[in-house]
Amino acid sequence: MSTIIHATSNKGKHTLIHSLMKLFTILLLLSCFISCSLRPKKSIDDRINEAIELQKNKHPEKAMAIYYQVLPEVEDLSKRSVIYYNLGAMYLWDRIFDKAYDMFHQPISATLF
């Protein structure tokens, strides 16, 4: 009879340890997610400057990706015109004339309406 009681109490310990390990794992993952979301976000100016540097260092694809990511967030017309101008210059360099025209024309149409 004592063997049965001993086996039952061991099972309870294992269940408790297993539950605590699950709880610890969940708390660890939760803290990782929270710490990732608290990472400071680069400002719009920093991202535009990063794109300009990439453009100067012959990485137009990466620069374009940043410009297109930032564009919806930019409300300042002077910053928007810089982005459109730089996109137009890169399209012109790649001889994609219709896209270059659209980019160069964009700041003008934005100020007219």
Segment 83-110, tens digit of pLDDT? 999 999 999 998 999 999 999 888 666 5
pTM of the model: 0.59
Higher pLDDT, 51 or 18: 51
Interval 69-82 mean pLDDT = 91
Asked whether residue 104 falls in the same domain as residue 82, the answer is yes
The angle, 0 to 180 degrees and rounded to 10, between the axes of the packed helices 60-70 and 44-56 is 160
Cβ neighbours around 82 below 10 Å, total: 17
Q: What is the pLDDT of residue 20?
A: 82
* 31 and 61 part of one domain: no
Q: Which amino acid is at 95?
A: R
pLDDT of residue 67: 94
* Higher-confidence position of 43 and 36: 43
**84 within 8 A of 48, measured Cβ to Cβ:** no
Q: Tell me: do 66 and 11 sit in the same domain.
A: no
Q: Domain range spanning residue 3?
A: 1-39
Q: Tell me: do 28 and 52 sit in the same domain.
A: no
Q: Are residues 53 and 90 in the same domain?
A: yes
